[in-house]
Amino acid sequence: MTRLTIFLFFFTLSTMAQITVSGRVFDEKNKPFSKAIVSNGREKVYTDAQGNYTIQAKLFDILEFSVESEYKGYKMNKQYYFVIKNIPHQKYKVQLDSDVIYKYFVDPYTLSFSFYLDDSKVEKSNEEAFKERVRNGEFYTYEIRTWDEMPKEIEQISMYNVFVYTQDYYNEHIKDKQK
């Protein structure tokens, strides 16, 4: 009986962390884009004939929308969706075309999240394990800031910056400043 209970507990935790993102992908003439690729970094799915897709994601994933090769003679630009809300079902409509000016600066640094624990930057080599700890609710609270909301003294290299706090640090340094 204990084994079954433990298994169900872990199964529930792992399914609660999943977020379903779905929507449609269109071309520049607003027609459904079939066989576009949607990737969460771990798996990829293709849009159907109507441009519809559904993919599982986790908080702090970056979804990439692209095509495998040139489309009608044009190299298509990639689009990105940052999963910054822990909402189970999210919708995102994408338009892929050859003349899109990037919404985001697409380089390895800005197309990412940066994580800070009690105002100390988490090393890139530890980020994946740290993300899982945040997703599992190990810390007291967190807040997400865009790069233009960052204090000037902090290097601004990521699109989104996630500040994670332990309860003691939050009560001592953050709580009183917000009043």
**Helix ranges restricted to H, 17-87:** none
Residue bearing the bigger pLDDT, 174 or 76: 174
- 154-168: average pLDDT: 84
- pTM, to two decimals: 0.75
- Predicted local distance difference test score (pLDDT) of residue 76: 63
115, 130 in Cβ contact below 8 A?
yes
Domain 2-95 top-level CATH class: mainly beta
- Predicted local distance difference test score (pLDDT) of residue 128: 93
Residue bearing the bigger pLDDT, 174 or 48: 48
> Distance between CA 120 and CA 6 in Å, rounded?
35
> Distance between CA 149 and CA 170 in Å, rounded?
19
How many CB atoms lie under 10 A from the CB of residue 94?
19
- 107-113: average pLDDT: 68
Backbone angles phi, psi at 58, to 5 degrees: -125, 160
Tokens 């609270």 belong to which residue?
141
Residue 164 has pLDDT above 90, yes or no: yes
- 84-101: average pLDDT: 75
Residue bearing the bigger pLDDT, 76 or 88: 88
Mean pLDDT taken over the chain: 79
Could you state, in order of their start, the residue ranges of all structural domains in the chain? 2-95, 113-178
| Terminal CA-CA length for the chain | 49
Give the DSSP H or E segment for 141: strand 141-146
